[in-house]
Structure 1
């Protein structure tokens, strides 16, 4: 199914076997990947981190060179299952379970449909589970959703009966004989997560008001998975979510739309609501969206409580940015970051290495430029040909993809034939970038930021003990938690090159 023929702004179902079967909701078992995925087969590759307590922590994918308690961390729920569980009642939902829990549920004999949500790197596991469920446990149909449906694996259409594209609250309801729902009717789940920065833990509430992305970056799967994005949620539903976040002691809200567009009418309404509830906020956004109203717009955001913007920098090479259809360039990025500094809006970033025009030397030059921009944290990955994206089709047509072990399609491996960089070298480059940009003993600007945060926390601690009310925005900006006695490390920050941390990288069976 080509993008031109797919419905826009709504989810849809691709029927492999058109059976017209409508199970009762209670006959459906819905599962994410287990947190001990691939353990049985002894695979210990560099996979995104699922914690032992059943949460996703993408920051733990690349542990940094300082002690575990100072690792950045956001332990979050699985968004897709959180939304489905609230809006599609009836099925049994298993969120990041153990593999044994999935098998026990299948053995119970009460289910006729197994529904799996997966990313590409989970597809080998999903295929085995689908085959086993039908063969050993009498499952009548197996359904697949999530970004993994785009994986170029022929067995997907041999083993699955239906593929759920896009966001599936409405299509899942219809598949179970329930009434469909519009995006404006979707109830927002409680996405309260534990977030840690520099040894202080705070409650952070994640918030959507729309999903999907209208950008057209050639390497990104979002515009393919849900073309054009999705209609917006009800502002009143968002208000109810913020009320509950406030009641639960949330310190700051992270806006997690794939591309927050804060100056749209609904964006302004949501940000005014955050200000009304006294909740500072951070957001995932693009340079285009952030600067749409110029400096005045950014100042308005800062005045309303924006403390950090998580931006897709991806590269500081204009050739890379232009070829991948990024709507920015190096001059725009550097000018925007200077304005953010003036407004005391911090930046975190995502960054991709090993674009086709990259060389080890060009990446080394960009490393210095990125350090000068001063992100508080940068999540690095290796360029991956995300299935169904323009970049994937281009690389496939030219025969560049040379590693079809989908377990490695995580952004942690080079799975295509780069003209100047080898796979082992790519992984070394990522480790070097992590060390240089995310470790304060090597990044002097980050070191100064840590020292500033330490001083501000000490002043807040003193004011709190003296009985003063602490400003929520100031607290959020430095991740201050008044009940925490944790102190930042000494001047050298206890960092050592090559330190092994205790942060979980591969799920265990414990």
Structure 2
């Protein structure tokens, strides 16, 4: 049994405009579980390798696998389908499998493509293992939980309760020297410390995939992986890719204490909610090497925040950003423009609000309803969606109008937001003293990609 896992080439990642090419942790976890159970597995990260379609075709044919599994997000589903079509043409006897966020919630639509045999729905580690074993041993695929085919869909697979039982991602199968942040290749590692989120933000597809209950790895298991990244992959910077790393404060404190006890020489960054941070926890994180926080501001209008089910206040957002500046922790503020209920006035209010917060960096995304989210279901019911081309769902292209903004006007407001934030003289001077050439590269990339 030979299994090939593919991250499609030419990926239209939603993070492309900030120059982030990160290891695909999902298929890396799957590969690790398959390897642990004696299955021959390989990974092709076509995006990181910047492969041509012809190169991909040759690599698939050369390996000649029994199962070819392709991962996909919403903006990458077109590339995933092209990958699957190529795979079926060169390996007609192989099972072609799709998995990831988008296939999980759109399996009925995707299975209309004859070159796709199976969709893995939800968390894929043990589903792929059981699927591979069933195919190898001639078992009944109807007994494999968490899959869909044209003939049947099996019951959902229960979520993995104990994440410590998973092996570390199979990074030895990845081109670790090809990943980058801000378009700069750095010895950077990525990891997750948990899955699921108890909050109900209407636009979040992650909680729809992993559930609304937070499942945390033990602090020892997390720091063991950090040490592995440092010792084996020479990581100097580690990014936690959790939806909200700071959700479980006790675990954060334990991780910080363990980092200091082991005297790990590493900087790290993470995602956080403004209402999970305090002076005490921020000081502990800073002293353990945390230098950057990704914070979801979303809107400068309280009514919009309430509509998004964020459960935070404008005042709390202000207080948290003041605290991060006081403690010397860099911030990336993320705002979303063009949600239902947004007006030109409220969008301008959000743009100005982010400027007053004065974060280290800012990202202004356009409202994008991803399948599986409440946002998508509500927008569909209200007939708000104006673009049905999934490749446009990158956070850079408007796909729905607001009450007083057309698609073109929303795009122009996004350009204005980036220009007004990054091209302020005082901002450029301040960043030049700290980040130097990094900020120049970042600004150039953002203005270029948003302007398209």
TM-score above 0.5: yes
Kindly indicate whether the alpha-carbon contact (under 8 Å) linking 1:193 and 1:203 is maintained by their aligned counterparts in 2. no
Normalising to structure 1: TM-score of the pair? 0.71
Equivalent of 2:430 in 449, 453, 456: 449
| Structure 1 SS opposite 2:198 | coil
1:367-382 equivalence runs, <5 A? 367-382=351-366
The one of 292, 304, 328 equivalent to 1:320 is 304
Tell me how far 1:495 sits from its aligned partner. Answer: 11
1:148 aligns with 2:148: no
Aligned match for 1:408, one of 392, 399, 424: 392
**Structure 1 residue 134 displacement after superposition:** 4.2
Partner residue of 1:252 out of 237, 243, 258: 237
Instruction: Compute the displacement of 1:108 (Å).
Output: 4.8
Task: Tell me: higher relative CO, structure 1 or 2? Use CA pairs within 8 A at least 6 residues apart.
Answer: 1
| 158, 163, 174: which one aligns with 1:183 | 163
- Tell me how far apart the structure 2 counterparts of residues 223 and 374 of structure 1 sit (CA, whole Å): 29
1:357 partnered with 2:313: no
1:112 Cα deviation after fit = 3.3
**Secondary structure of residue in 2 paired with 1:61:** helix
CA distance in 2, matches of 1:392, 1:402: 12
1:113 aligns with 2:80: no
- Matches of 1:243 and 1:497 in 2, distance apart? 34
Name 2:124's counterpart in structure 1. 168
Shift of 1:379: 2.0
Instruction: Quote how far apart the aligned CAs of 1:115 are.
Output: 1.2
Q: What pairs up with 1:3-402 in 2 under 5 angstroms?
A: 24=1, 26=2, 28-35=3-10, 47-48=12-13, 58=15, 60-61=16-17, 73-89=19-35, 90-96=40-46, 97-108=51-62, 110-131=64-85, 133-134=87-88, 137-150=91-104, 152=106, 154-159=108-113, 160-177=116-133, 182-189=162-169, 190=171, 202-228=186-212, 231-247=215-231, 249-261=234-246, 263-276=248-261, 277-290=264-277, 294-402=278-386
Q: Return the offset for 1:106.
A: 4.6
The structural deviation recorded for 1:48 is 3.1
| TM-score normalised to structure 2 length | 0.79
Q: Which runs of 5+ in 2 are unaligned?
A: 135-143, 145-156
Instruction: Report the secondary structure of 1:410's partner residue.
Output: coil
CA deviation map 1:452-477 (0-9, x unaligned): 42xxxxxxxxxxxxxxxxxxxxxxxx
Cα deviation, residue 274, structure 1: 2.3
Partner SS state of residue 176, structure 1: helix
Counterpart Cα distance in 1 of 2:190 and 2:67: 31
In 1, the alpha carbon distance for the partners of 2:269 and 2:381 equals 40
1:291-333 per-residue CA deviation (whole Å, 9 max, x = no partner) reads xxx3333333333333221111111111111011002121110
Q: Distance in 1 between matches of 2:106 and 2:428?
A: 44
Alignment check: 8 A CA contact 1:74 1:193 kept: no
Q: Secondary structure at the match of 1:158?
A: coil
Cα distance 1:361–1:265, how it changes in 2: closer, same or farther (>3 A)?
closer
SS at match of 1:175: helix
Structure with the higher fraction of residues in helix conformation: 2
User: Which whole-Å CA distance do the structure 2 matches of 1:200 and 1:395 have between them?
Assistant: 37
How much has 1:153 moved relative to structure 2?
7.2
438 and 357 in structure 1: CA distance in 2 versus 1, 3 angstrom threshold: same
In 2, Cα distance between the equivalents of 1:302 and 1:132? 47
Once residues 424 and 505 of structure 1 are traced to their aligned partners in structure 2, the CA distance between those partners, rounded to angstroms, is 12
Which has the higher Rg, Structure 1 or Structure 2? 1
Is this contact kept in 2: 1:306–1:345, CA < 8 A? yes
Is the 8 Å Cα contact of residues 111 and 139 (structure 1) preserved in structure 2? no
